Amino acid sequence: MEKDPADEAIIIALFKRFAEHRLPRAMELKTKVFAGEILSAADMTFLDTVFKDAQYVLPYSDKYPEHRELLLKALQLYTDITEQGLENERNQKNRPTK
């Protein structure tokens, strides 16, 4: 596929946002859920926004396969956070109340 300079500018902006905003917040959430905490409404909103961003970014992975591995790793990170968060929710609901 032919690469477009405008696409390259978009990809640079997306990677900058990922590195400066998305990844640090994702790492905080990963620490949180793997410590057994549940995700807040704000955390879920963040993850929803990230998945919507991913739908926008995925078509670029065909044109720019050199970035595909990073995209897939990021999606796996968000999937791990979501799955662990759901598991924590289930565990909390199954705990007997005192």
Q: What is the pTM of this model?
A: 0.82
* Residue 3 contacts residue 59 (beta carbons within 8 Å): no
Q: Which two tokens stand for residue 67?
A: 């970035």
Q: pLDDT tens across 5-46, in order?
A: 888 888 888 888 888 899 899 999 999 999 999 999 999 999
Nearest alpha-carbon partner for 8 in 94, 76, 67: 67
SS3 content of the chain, % helix, strand, coil (to 5): 85, 0, 15
Q: Which two tokens stand for residue 22?
A: 């998305």
